[in-house]
Amino acid sequence: AKNQKSSSYQVFHDSMPVISGAQLTMETWLRYALERGEFELHYQPQLGLRSGCLEGAEALIRWRHPQQGFIPPLDFIPLAEETGLILPIGQWVLETACQQARQWQVKKLSLSHVAVNLSSVQFNQPDLIDCVAQALATNDLHPSQLELEVTETALMQDAAQAVETLNQLKALGIRLSVDDFGTGYSSLSYLKHLPIDTLKIDNCFVRGVTQDTKNQIILQSTIEMAHRLGLSIVAEGVETEPEKTLLVQYHCDFLQGYWIGRPMPAAALEDCLTGQDKV
């Protein structure tokens, strides 16, 4: 109730009451969404090129609003970050994904990990390590089955603190990846100080790569650099067969994108995995 009061205070003192009013409505909706169970996670498969199998899945949040229908994450995550609501929402994501990963493990599906997106607000939260440890413990999940994705931008906000936080997360035994790699303002030199396992190269380098020689050079050399640093690479946004073929040629490790599979409800991914296991 205290938070709601401070929000309405802001509305009356804002120079743009219309936008604030809309924001307040959205904020109120967001608050209730968690309680009412309006969020769900969809899972997008990651194809391992060495094994030829679906090896991982990225959890992506979806909001089914009773009046507005489906609201995509980019339409509410920024507001959730501004208002701090991303903390309870992020915690729900973490716990739900861990619970799902554990269920898939119990069912002996071949998935080796589930990846969860961490907002920079969560990443800079002092009790992050405890939250992650608790989500693992509550769900009896082996740490290696959880991967956390942190964006380059979040890492660079306070690079020294980021190294410290990543070290603590790594000490839990989880996997760490850098999301949207290549789009932030990071220097490559920091990479060697980070205890990360994977680079997720942003889909802007993959899109139309077959027609774009510069993107070909960027992809090929990023993959080579990652391998020489002992990191694996996920290519995001793989939408066509020729893009896949090129990434296979470049020895990319994992592919994610509509060509491999769209984000889908847990049950649908389970069907894909069961089908795959029978082959």
Which residue number, 20 or 166, has a Cβ lying nearer to ligand C2E? 166
Q: Which stretch binds Ca ion (CB under 5 A): 79-87, 119-127, 173-181, 256-264?
A: 173-181
User: Distance between CA atoms of 215 and 206, rounded to whole angstroms?
Assistant: 7
* Tokens standing for residue 224: 């080579």
Q: Where are the beta strands (DSSP E) in 66-134?
A: 69-71, 113-118
CB of 13 to ligand C2E, least distance (A): 29
- CA Rg, the chain, in Å? 20
Sequence-separated (6 or more) residues with CB below 8 Å from residue 262: 44
Segment lying near Ca ion (by CB under 5 A), choices 112-120, 139-147, 162-170, 250-258: 112-120
**Closest-CA residue to 57 (of 101, 12, 99, 5):** 101
Instruction: Compute φ and ψ for 114, nearest 5 degrees.
Output: -115, 130
Residue 74 contact among ligand C2E, Ca ion, none, beta carbon within 5 to 8 Å by kind: ligand C2E
**Site mask for Ca ion (CB under 5 A), range 115-134, x = bound:** --x-----------------
> Based on CB atoms, which residue is closest to ligand C2E, 20 or 49?
49
Query: Which region, judged by CB under 5 A, interacts with Ca ion, from 47-55, 149-157, 205-213, 255-263?
Result: 149-157
Residue 140 dihedral angles phi and psi, to the nearest 5°:
55, 40
Our finding on whether 179 is near Ca ion (CB under 5 A) is yes
Q: How many C-beta atoms lie closer than 10 Å to residue 28's C-beta?
A: 12
CB of residue 154 vs ligand C2E: minimum separation in angstroms?
10
Binding region for ligand C2E (CB under 6 A): 44, 60-61, 72-74, 77, 90, 93, 117, 119, 179-180, 203, 237-239, 257-258, 263
Which run of H or E residues covers position 258? none
Q: Which is nearer to ligand C2E, 24 or 178 (CB)?
A: 178
Q: Which of 252, 221, 225 is nearest to 236 (CA)?
A: 252
| DSSP conformational letter for 183 | S
243 contributes a contact to Ca ion by CB under 5 A: no
180 binds Ca ion (CB under 5 A): yes
11 close to 24: Cβ distance less than 8 angstroms: yes
Among Ca ion, ligand C2E, none, residue 173 binds (CB under 5-8 Å by kind): none
Residue 9, binding choice from ligand C2E, Ca ion, none, Cβ under 5 to 8 Å by partner class: none
